[in-house]
């Protein structure tokens, strides 16, 4: 089961980048009627500004625009690891073969020429989104636990951290690691180790909200991120997950297994992914040293793990 984010029925948001007011209005009308949340930008620069403050599922972009045209905008987007994954459709009167080859060569999904039929455009939008869902789903997940993989985890948390810089809020980040995992593998075999990881994945996703982020950082290490959640509530959630994990793993013969966890609150304990992870990791390391099977909140006197040895 995936971190339940993808299971929710979803309203897609689209950014329409178009300098011609009539076309922009027509697109906005048709997309809104089809249930999309529509954002507008009248050229490449204002599109970049918009993408800095909203998360969109799709971009429909004109080519001929003042300031920064569509090709220049696509160039900029290609340099950004997060933005270049957003589905992208050129919608333009530039209809020569050269234009279309140039546009499609920039890694976009569709190149639609004007004049266009709104119904056909909508069908293309849905086709593009369907393709992305399938590819993106596979690329985002850790194959064993079906939680987010390391790259996606980091990308989604960074996006959230950028958001709380603009709209201040607290969040909790947790770094956790299964205790004595090596012994499980050595004593009971790697299949038992895989089962343990599966039980942990179930425990970590049992009662989470759709906004929560859960992923496998590597090996037996996991990271969780709870938006709008102060330290004390985050701690209670993790403790509940810990007892669920003990119960689930107990049924397997190798258990009951435990984990140690370190917890930080953003932005109090850090504003970027690396700082928060290092500090949560340091708190997790301290939890291990103090006898494992516990959750510790990071405190400034806890040395980073590298210094603690
Ligand atoms: Mg134009």
pLDDT (tens place) for every residue of the chain, 309 residues total: 334 444 444 688 999 999 999 999 999 999 999 999 999 999 999 999 998 888 789 999 999 999 999 999 999 999 987 788 899 999 999 999 999 999 999 999 999 999 999 999 999 999 999 998 887 777 888 888 889 999 999 999 999 999 898 889 999 999 999 999 999 999 998 888 999 999 999 999 987 888 899 999 999 999 999 999 999 999 999 999 999 999 999 887 777 999 999 999 999 999 999 999 999 999 999 999 999 999 999 999 996 655 443
Contact 60, 41 (CB under 8 A): no
Question: What tokens does 254 get?
Answer: 């190798």
Report the C-alpha gap between 26 and 45 in whole angstroms: 22
Query: Does a structural domain hold residue 49?
Result: yes
How many angstroms is it from 42 CA to the middle of ligand 1?
A: 9
Tokens of 162: 């950028």
Same domain flag for 203 and 87: no
Examine the fold and report which residue of 92, 107, 140 is the final residue of a domain before the chain moves on.
140
What residues make up the domain containing 171? 150-308
220 is catalytic: yes
In degrees rounded to 5, what are phi and psi of residue 134?
-65, -50
**3-state class of 32 per DSSP?**
helix
Task: Give yes or no: residues 134 and 155 share one domain.
Answer: no
Task: Please tell me the pTM assigned to this model.
Answer: 0.62
Question: Is 213 a domain residue?
Answer: yes
What is the rounded distance in angstroms from the CA atom of residue 129 to the CA atom of residue 135?
A: 10
Edge-first strand listing for the sheet containing 221-227:
213-218, 221-227, 171-178, 259-266, 295-297
Residue 200 inside a domain? The answer is: yes
- State how far Cα 265 lies from the chain centre: 19
102 and 246 inside one domain: no
Of 227, 236, 215, nearest to 151 (Cα)?
Answer: 215
Cα(18) to ligand 1 centroid in Å equals: 6
- Residues 49, 129: one domain? yes
Q: Please tell me which residue in 42, 160, 220, 265 is annotated as part of the active site.
A: 220
Tokens of 7: 């299971």
Q: Ligand 1: distance of its center to the CA of 203 in Å?
A: 51
């Amino acid at each position: 089961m995936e971190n339940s984010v993808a299971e929710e029925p979803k309203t897609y948001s689209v950014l329409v980048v178009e300098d011609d007011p009539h076309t922009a209005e027509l697109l906005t009308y048709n997309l809104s009627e089809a249930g999309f949340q529509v954002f507008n930008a009248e050229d490449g620069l204002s599109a970049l500004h918009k993408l800095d403050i909203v998360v969109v599922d799709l971009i429909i972009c004109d080519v001929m625009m003042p300031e920064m045209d569509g090709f220049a905008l696509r160039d900029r987007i290609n340099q950004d690891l997060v933005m270049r994954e957003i589905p992208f459709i050129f919608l333009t009167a530039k209809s020569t073969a050269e234009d279309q080859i140039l546009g499609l060569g920039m890694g976009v999904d569709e190149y639609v020429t004007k004049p266009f039929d709104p119904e056909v455009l909508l069908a293309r939008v849905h086709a593009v989104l369907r393709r992305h869902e399938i590819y993106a789903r596979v690329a985002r997940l850790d194959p064993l636990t079906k939680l987010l993989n390391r790259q996606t985890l980091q990308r989604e948390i960074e996006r959230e951290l950028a958001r709380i810089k603009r709209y201040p809020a607290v969040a909790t980040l947790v770094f956790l690691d299964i205790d004595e995992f090596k012994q499980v593998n050595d004593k009971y075999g790697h299949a038992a180790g895989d089962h343990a990881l599966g039980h942990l994945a179930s425990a970590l996703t049992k009662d989470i909200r759709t906004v929560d982020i859960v992923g496998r950082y590597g090996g037996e290490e996991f990271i969780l991120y709870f938006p709008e959640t102060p330290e004390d509530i985050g701690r209670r959630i993790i403790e509940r997950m810990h007892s669920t994990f003990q119960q689930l793993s107990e049924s397997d013969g190798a258990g009951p297994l435990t984990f140690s966890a370190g917890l930080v609150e953003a932005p109090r304990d850090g504003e970027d992914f690396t700082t928060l992870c290092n500090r949560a990791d340091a708190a997790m390391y301290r939890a291990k040293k103090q006898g494992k099977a516990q959750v510790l909140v990071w405190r400034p006197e806890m040395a980073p793990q590298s210094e603690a040895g």
